[in-house]
Amino acid sequence: MLNPYLPYPVRIDEIITETVDKNLKTFRFVFLNPEDEQKFAYQAGQFAELSVTGKGEIPIGIASSPTEKGFVMFTVNKVGLVSSYLHAMKAGDIMGLRGPLGNWYPWERLKGKNVVIIGGGFAFTTLRSSIVYMLDPANRKDFKDIHVIYGARSPGMLLYRKELAAWEERDDINVHITVDASDDPDWKYNVGFVPTITEQKAPPGNADTYAIVCGPPIMIKFTQPVLDKLNYGHDHIIMSLEMRMKCGIGICGRCNIGKEFVCKDGPVFTLAQLNGMPREY
Ligand SMILES: Cc1cc2nc3c(=O)[nH]c(=O)nc-3n(C[C@H](O)[C@H](O)[C@H](O)COP(=O)(O)OP(=O)(O)OC[C@H]3O[C@@H](n4cnc5c(N)ncnc54)[C@H](O)[C@@H]3O)c2cc1C
Ligand code: FES
Protein backbone atom coordinates (compact mmCIF):
# COMPACT_ATOMS: atom_id res chain seq x y z
CA MET A 1 0.00 0.00 0.00
CA LEU A 2 1.24 3.51 -0.81
CA ASN A 3 2.23 5.63 2.20
CA PRO A 4 -0.27 8.55 2.10
CA TYR A 5 2.23 10.82 3.90
CA LEU A 6 4.93 10.38 1.26
CA PRO A 7 5.25 13.39 -1.09
CA TYR A 8 6.14 13.12 -4.77
CA PRO A 9 9.45 14.85 -5.55
CA VAL A 10 8.94 17.88 -7.83
CA ARG A 11 11.21 20.54 -9.35
CA ILE A 12 10.26 24.19 -9.44
CA ASP A 13 10.09 24.89 -13.17
CA GLU A 14 9.01 28.53 -13.07
CA ILE A 15 8.09 31.16 -10.50
CA ILE A 16 5.82 34.05 -11.50
CA THR A 17 5.37 37.06 -9.22
CA GLU A 18 1.66 37.82 -9.58
CA THR A 19 1.01 40.98 -7.58
CA VAL A 20 2.66 44.38 -7.19
CA ASP A 21 3.24 43.80 -3.47
CA LYS A 22 5.19 40.62 -4.49
CA ASN A 23 3.36 38.65 -1.78
CA LEU A 24 1.70 36.30 -4.25
CA LYS A 25 3.78 34.00 -6.40
CA THR A 26 2.73 31.23 -8.75
CA PHE A 27 4.91 28.12 -8.72
CA ARG A 28 4.93 25.73 -11.66
CA PHE A 29 6.22 22.30 -10.68
CA VAL A 30 7.26 19.34 -12.82
CA PHE A 31 7.38 15.83 -11.40
CA LEU A 32 10.88 14.35 -11.19
CA ASN A 33 9.39 10.93 -12.04
CA PRO A 34 7.04 11.34 -15.01
CA GLU A 35 4.85 8.42 -13.82
CA ASP A 36 4.02 10.42 -10.66
CA GLU A 37 2.10 12.90 -12.81
CA GLN A 38 -0.43 10.14 -13.63
CA LYS A 39 -0.65 9.13 -9.96
CA PHE A 40 -1.36 12.78 -9.08
CA ALA A 41 -4.51 12.80 -11.30
CA TYR A 42 -6.71 15.56 -9.83
CA GLN A 43 -9.96 17.44 -10.36
CA ALA A 44 -10.54 21.20 -10.34
CA GLY A 45 -11.22 22.25 -6.74
CA GLN A 46 -8.81 19.88 -5.01
CA PHE A 47 -5.75 20.88 -2.99
CA ALA A 48 -2.35 19.41 -2.17
CA GLU A 49 0.23 19.70 0.59
CA LEU A 50 3.39 21.51 -0.58
CA SER A 51 6.23 20.17 1.48
CA VAL A 52 9.55 21.88 2.10
CA THR A 53 12.14 19.65 3.74
CA GLY A 54 12.89 20.65 7.31
CA LYS A 55 10.23 23.39 7.31
CA GLY A 56 6.89 21.60 6.99
CA GLU A 57 3.87 21.28 4.72
CA ILE A 58 1.11 23.70 3.75
CA PRO A 59 -2.26 22.95 2.12
CA ILE A 60 -2.65 24.94 -1.12
CA GLY A 61 -5.42 24.79 -3.75
CA ILE A 62 -4.36 23.45 -7.14
CA ALA A 63 -4.38 26.40 -9.56
CA SER A 64 -3.65 24.46 -12.74
CA SER A 65 -6.40 22.57 -14.51
CA PRO A 66 -6.42 18.79 -15.03
CA THR A 67 -6.54 19.63 -18.75
CA GLU A 68 -3.08 21.26 -18.54
CA LYS A 69 -0.45 18.56 -18.87
CA GLY A 70 3.25 18.41 -17.99
CA PHE A 71 3.11 20.62 -14.92
CA VAL A 72 1.06 21.45 -11.86
CA MET A 73 0.65 24.97 -10.55
CA PHE A 74 -0.04 26.70 -7.21
CA THR A 75 -0.31 30.35 -6.18
CA VAL A 76 0.97 31.03 -2.69
CA ASN A 77 0.44 34.02 -0.43
CA LYS A 78 3.47 34.77 1.77
CA VAL A 79 2.08 34.73 5.32
CA GLY A 80 4.27 32.65 7.62
CA LEU A 81 6.97 30.06 8.03
CA VAL A 82 6.55 27.65 5.12
CA SER A 83 5.07 30.10 2.60
CA SER A 84 7.95 32.57 3.25
CA TYR A 85 10.51 29.81 2.79
CA LEU A 86 8.81 28.80 -0.44
CA HIS A 87 8.87 32.40 -1.67
CA ALA A 88 12.66 32.44 -1.18
CA MET A 89 13.17 29.30 -3.32
CA LYS A 90 14.41 29.41 -6.91
CA ALA A 91 13.57 27.72 -10.20
CA GLY A 92 15.38 24.37 -10.26
CA ASP A 93 14.95 23.73 -6.51
CA ILE A 94 13.47 20.38 -5.48
CA MET A 95 10.62 19.95 -3.01
CA GLY A 96 7.63 17.66 -2.31
CA LEU A 97 4.00 17.50 -3.32
CA ARG A 98 1.46 15.32 -1.49
CA GLY A 99 -1.99 14.73 -2.88
CA PRO A 100 -4.28 15.38 -4.59
CA LEU A 101 -6.41 15.86 -1.47
CA GLY A 102 -10.02 16.65 -0.61
CA ASN A 103 -13.13 16.70 -2.75
CA TRP A 104 -13.73 18.93 -5.77
CA TYR A 105 -16.39 21.11 -7.36
CA PRO A 106 -19.30 18.85 -8.37
CA TRP A 107 -18.54 18.69 -12.10
CA GLU A 108 -21.07 15.93 -12.82
CA ARG A 109 -23.87 17.99 -11.22
CA LEU A 110 -22.74 21.13 -13.06
CA LYS A 111 -22.98 19.49 -16.49
CA GLY A 112 -25.61 21.18 -18.65
CA LYS A 113 -25.94 24.07 -16.16
CA ASN A 114 -25.01 27.76 -16.06
CA VAL A 115 -21.98 28.27 -13.81
CA VAL A 116 -21.32 31.57 -12.05
CA ILE A 117 -17.82 31.85 -10.57
CA ILE A 118 -17.49 34.52 -7.88
CA GLY A 119 -14.01 35.12 -6.48
CA GLY A 120 -12.10 37.64 -4.48
CA GLY A 121 -8.45 38.21 -3.62
CA PHE A 122 -6.01 35.33 -3.74
CA ALA A 123 -8.72 32.68 -3.27
CA PHE A 124 -9.05 32.70 -7.07
CA THR A 125 -6.64 29.77 -7.46
CA THR A 126 -9.00 26.79 -7.73
CA LEU A 127 -11.41 29.08 -9.60
CA ARG A 128 -8.72 29.59 -12.26
CA SER A 129 -8.38 25.81 -12.43
CA SER A 130 -12.15 25.52 -12.88
CA ILE A 131 -12.37 28.17 -15.61
CA VAL A 132 -9.52 26.63 -17.62
CA TYR A 133 -11.16 23.22 -17.17
CA MET A 134 -14.60 24.40 -18.37
CA LEU A 135 -13.15 26.36 -21.31
CA ASP A 136 -11.15 23.39 -22.58
CA PRO A 137 -12.50 22.55 -26.06
CA ALA A 138 -13.30 19.01 -24.86
CA ASN A 139 -15.44 20.34 -21.98
CA ARG A 140 -16.98 23.68 -23.01
CA LYS A 141 -20.06 22.03 -24.56
CA ASP A 142 -20.83 20.39 -21.18
CA PHE A 143 -21.74 23.75 -19.62
CA LYS A 144 -24.26 26.44 -20.56
CA ASP A 145 -23.41 30.09 -19.80
CA ILE A 146 -20.28 30.73 -17.78
CA HIS A 147 -20.02 33.96 -15.78
CA VAL A 148 -16.95 35.06 -13.82
CA ILE A 149 -16.99 37.89 -11.30
CA TYR A 150 -13.53 38.43 -9.84
CA GLY A 151 -12.29 41.28 -7.71
CA ALA A 152 -9.17 42.46 -5.95
CA ARG A 153 -8.22 45.54 -3.97
CA SER A 154 -6.48 47.22 -6.92
CA PRO A 155 -5.46 46.35 -10.50
CA GLY A 156 -1.98 45.32 -9.34
CA MET A 157 -3.45 42.80 -6.88
CA LEU A 158 -5.32 40.77 -9.53
CA LEU A 159 -3.98 37.28 -10.19
CA TYR A 160 -3.43 35.84 -13.69
CA ARG A 161 -3.88 39.23 -15.37
CA LYS A 162 -2.95 38.10 -18.89
CA GLU A 163 -5.41 35.23 -18.74
CA LEU A 164 -8.16 37.48 -17.37
CA ALA A 165 -7.66 39.84 -20.30
CA ALA A 166 -7.75 36.92 -22.76
CA TRP A 167 -10.98 35.52 -21.23
CA GLU A 168 -12.49 39.03 -21.39
CA GLU A 169 -12.07 38.93 -25.18
CA ARG A 170 -13.86 35.60 -25.64
CA ASP A 171 -17.54 35.27 -26.43
CA ASP A 172 -18.07 31.91 -24.70
CA ILE A 173 -17.52 33.31 -21.19
CA ASN A 174 -18.79 36.50 -19.48
CA VAL A 175 -16.01 38.00 -17.41
CA HIS A 176 -16.56 40.90 -14.99
CA ILE A 177 -13.27 42.02 -13.46
CA THR A 178 -13.48 44.56 -10.67
CA VAL A 179 -11.27 46.40 -8.19
CA ASP A 180 -12.20 48.15 -4.95
CA ALA A 181 -10.52 51.30 -6.22
CA SER A 182 -8.17 52.39 -9.01
CA ASP A 183 -6.18 55.54 -9.77
CA ASP A 184 -5.13 54.10 -13.15
CA PRO A 185 -6.70 56.30 -15.86
CA ASP A 186 -6.43 53.36 -18.32
CA TRP A 187 -8.41 50.96 -16.09
CA LYS A 188 -11.19 49.72 -18.39
CA TYR A 189 -13.03 47.24 -16.17
CA ASN A 190 -15.37 47.68 -13.16
CA VAL A 191 -14.75 49.55 -9.94
CA GLY A 192 -16.77 48.26 -6.97
CA PHE A 193 -16.84 45.48 -4.41
CA VAL A 194 -17.55 41.93 -5.56
CA PRO A 195 -21.03 41.77 -3.93
CA THR A 196 -22.07 44.98 -5.74
CA ILE A 197 -20.82 43.73 -9.12
CA THR A 198 -22.50 40.36 -8.44
CA GLU A 199 -25.82 42.14 -7.91
CA GLN A 200 -25.35 44.04 -11.19
CA LYS A 201 -23.96 41.28 -13.43
CA ALA A 202 -24.85 37.81 -12.13
CA PRO A 203 -27.79 36.05 -13.78
CA PRO A 204 -30.77 35.28 -11.53
CA GLY A 205 -30.76 31.98 -9.70
CA ASN A 206 -32.83 29.05 -10.98
CA ALA A 207 -32.69 25.27 -11.10
CA ASP A 208 -30.17 25.46 -13.96
CA THR A 209 -27.73 27.91 -12.37
CA TYR A 210 -25.00 27.25 -9.79
CA ALA A 211 -22.67 29.73 -8.11
CA ILE A 212 -19.17 28.79 -6.96
CA VAL A 213 -18.02 31.32 -4.39
CA CYS A 214 -14.48 31.59 -3.06
CA GLY A 215 -12.96 34.57 -1.32
CA PRO A 216 -12.19 36.30 1.95
CA PRO A 217 -14.84 35.98 4.72
CA ILE A 218 -15.94 39.61 4.33
CA MET A 219 -16.66 39.09 0.61
CA ILE A 220 -18.59 35.90 1.33
CA LYS A 221 -20.56 37.60 4.12
CA PHE A 222 -21.82 40.34 1.78
CA THR A 223 -22.19 38.16 -1.34
CA GLN A 224 -24.51 35.64 0.28
CA PRO A 225 -27.42 38.10 0.80
CA VAL A 226 -27.00 39.22 -2.83
CA LEU A 227 -27.31 35.62 -4.02
CA ASP A 228 -30.35 35.19 -1.74
CA LYS A 229 -31.86 38.27 -3.36
CA LEU A 230 -31.08 36.87 -6.81
CA ASN A 231 -32.95 33.72 -5.79
CA TYR A 232 -30.05 31.23 -5.61
CA GLY A 233 -31.02 28.16 -3.56
CA HIS A 234 -28.48 27.30 -0.86
CA ASP A 235 -27.93 23.91 -2.51
CA HIS A 236 -26.91 25.85 -5.66
CA ILE A 237 -24.21 27.88 -3.87
CA ILE A 238 -20.90 26.01 -3.68
CA MET A 239 -18.05 27.14 -1.44
CA SER A 240 -14.54 26.05 -0.55
CA LEU A 241 -13.22 26.32 3.04
CA GLU A 242 -9.64 27.04 4.09
CA MET A 243 -9.33 25.60 7.61
CA ARG A 244 -6.05 24.99 9.43
CA MET A 245 -4.94 21.44 8.50
CA LYS A 246 -2.20 18.98 9.25
CA CYS A 247 -2.54 15.48 7.81
CA GLY A 248 -4.94 16.39 4.99
CA ILE A 249 -6.36 12.84 4.93
CA GLY A 250 -8.91 12.71 7.75
CA ILE A 251 -6.65 11.15 10.40
CA CYS A 252 -5.32 13.83 12.78
CA GLY A 253 -8.64 15.51 13.66
CA ARG A 254 -7.18 19.00 13.19
CA CYS A 255 -9.72 20.33 10.70
CA ASN A 256 -13.10 18.97 11.74
CA ILE A 257 -16.31 20.99 11.87
CA GLY A 258 -18.77 18.86 13.83
CA LYS A 259 -18.38 15.41 12.32
CA GLU A 260 -17.08 16.61 8.93
CA PHE A 261 -13.36 16.66 8.18
CA VAL A 262 -12.75 19.65 5.93
CA CYS A 263 -9.66 17.97 4.43
CA LYS A 264 -11.48 14.78 3.42
CA ASP A 265 -15.24 15.51 3.29
CA GLY A 266 -14.44 19.01 1.93
CA PRO A 267 -13.03 21.54 1.35
CA VAL A 268 -15.95 21.97 -1.09
CA PHE A 269 -19.43 22.18 0.49
CA THR A 270 -22.74 23.64 -0.63
CA LEU A 271 -24.12 26.45 1.51
CA ALA A 272 -27.02 24.10 2.35
CA GLN A 273 -24.48 21.66 3.84
CA LEU A 274 -22.67 24.43 5.71
CA ASN A 275 -25.98 25.67 7.16
CA GLY A 276 -26.33 22.29 8.86
CA MET A 277 -22.83 22.40 10.39
CA PRO A 278 -21.62 24.21 13.55
CA ARG A 279 -20.38 27.78 12.74
CA GLU A 280 -16.73 26.90 13.44
CA TYR A 281 -15.36 27.94 10.05
C1 LIG B 1 -7.82 23.65 1.34
C2 LIG B 1 -6.92 24.86 1.48
C3 LIG B 1 -6.53 25.54 0.33
C4 LIG B 1 -5.68 26.66 0.45
N5 LIG B 1 -5.29 27.27 -0.70
C6 LIG B 1 -4.42 28.28 -0.63
C7 LIG B 1 -3.93 28.86 -1.83
O8 LIG B 1 -4.29 28.47 -2.96
N9 LIG B 1 -3.01 29.85 -1.72
C10 LIG B 1 -2.58 30.31 -0.48
O11 LIG B 1 -1.74 31.21 -0.44
N12 LIG B 1 -3.05 29.78 0.68
C13 LIG B 1 -3.95 28.78 0.63
N14 LIG B 1 -4.39 28.21 1.80
C15 LIG B 1 -3.92 28.77 3.09
C16 LIG B 1 -2.53 28.22 3.41
O17 LIG B 1 -2.62 26.85 3.68
C18 LIG B 1 -1.92 28.94 4.63
O19 LIG B 1 -1.74 30.30 4.34
C20 LIG B 1 -0.57 28.32 4.96
O21 LIG B 1 -0.78 27.03 5.53
C22 LIG B 1 0.24 29.17 5.92
O23 LIG B 1 1.41 28.45 6.27
P24 LIG B 1 2.72 29.17 6.76
O25 LIG B 1 3.63 28.11 7.34
O26 LIG B 1 3.30 30.01 5.69
O27 LIG B 1 2.18 30.12 7.88
P28 LIG B 1 2.16 29.90 9.47
O29 LIG B 1 3.52 30.27 10.00
O30 LIG B 1 1.61 28.54 9.80
O31 LIG B 1 1.06 30.96 9.86
C32 LIG B 1 1.20 32.33 9.52
C33 LIG B 1 -0.14 33.03 9.60
O34 LIG B 1 -1.07 32.44 8.65
C35 LIG B 1 -2.24 32.01 9.31
N36 LIG B 1 -2.70 30.76 8.69
C37 LIG B 1 -2.07 29.57 8.69
N38 LIG B 1 -2.83 28.64 8.05
C39 LIG B 1 -3.94 29.25 7.65
C40 LIG B 1 -5.11 28.84 6.96
N41 LIG B 1 -5.31 27.57 6.56
N42 LIG B 1 -6.04 29.77 6.69
C43 LIG B 1 -5.89 31.04 7.09
N44 LIG B 1 -4.82 31.48 7.76
C45 LIG B 1 -3.86 30.61 8.04
C46 LIG B 1 -1.82 31.79 10.74
O47 LIG B 1 -2.92 31.93 11.62
C48 LIG B 1 -0.81 32.89 10.96
O49 LIG B 1 -1.44 34.11 11.24
C50 LIG B 1 -5.24 27.11 1.73
C51 LIG B 1 -5.65 26.41 2.88
C52 LIG B 1 -6.47 25.30 2.75
C53 LIG B 1 -6.87 24.54 3.96
S1 FES C 1 -6.10 17.79 8.57
FE2 FES C 1 -5.99 15.95 9.71
S3 FES C 1 -8.08 15.34 9.81
FE4 FES C 1 -8.11 17.03 8.47
> Max Cα separation, the chain?
59
Nearest ligand, CA 124: 1
The whole-number pLDDT of residue 217 equals 86
Q: What's the gap in Å between 262 CA and the centre of ligand 2?
A: 7
Q: What H or E segment, with its residue span, contains residue 95? A: strand 94-101
Query: Which atom number of ligand 2 is nearest to the Cα of residue 255?
Result: 4
pLDDT at 281: 67
pLDDT of residue 122: 86
pLDDT tens by residue, 1-14: 577 788 999 999 99
pLDDT, residue 155, reads 94
Residue 15 Cα to ligand 1 midpoint, Å, equals: 19
CB within 8 Å of 206: residues ≥ 6 apart: 231
Cβ of 102 below 6 Å from ligand 2: no
Q: What is the Å distance from ligand 1's center to 60 Cα?
A: 8
Q: Which helix (H) or strand (E) holds 237?
A: strand 237-240
Closest residue to atom 3 of ligand 2, CA basis: 250
CA–chain centroid gap for 27, Å, is 14
pLDDT at 62: 98
What's the pLDDT at 31?
Answer: 98
Ligand 2 atom showing the smallest separation from residue 244 Cα: 1
Q: What is the DSSP letter of 152?
A: E
pLDDT < 50 stretches in the chain = none
Cα angle, residue 57 at apex, residues 29 and 28 outer, rounded to 5°: 10
User: Residue 1 has what pLDDT?
Assistant: 53
Q: Are 210 and 236 in contact (CB under 8 A)?
A: yes
DSSP bridge partners of 240: 268
Cα of 40 from ligand 2 centre, angstroms: 19
User: Residues 248, 254, 255, 261: is their CA dihedral positive or negative?
Assistant: positive
Distance from C-alpha of 25 to C-alpha of 73, rounded to nearest angstrom: 10
Q: How far is the CA of 80 from the centre of ligand 2 (A)?
A: 20
* CB of 212 closer than 8 Å to CB of 127: yes
Using CA atoms, how far apart are residues 228 and 234, in angstroms rounded to an integer?
8
Cα 278 to Cα 281: distance, rounded to the nearest angstrom: 8
Residue 280 C-alpha to ligand 2 middle, in angstroms? Answer: 15
| pLDDT of res. 263 | 93
Residue 248 alpha carbon, nearest atom of ligand 2: 1
* pTM attached to this predicted model: 0.95
Would the CB of 252 count as within 6 Å of ligand 2? yes
Cβ–ligand 2 contact at 96 (below 6 Å): no
Q: What is the separation, in whole angstroms, between the first and last Cα of the chain?
A: 33
Using CA atoms, how far apart are residues 61 and 107, in angstroms rounded to an integer?
A: 17
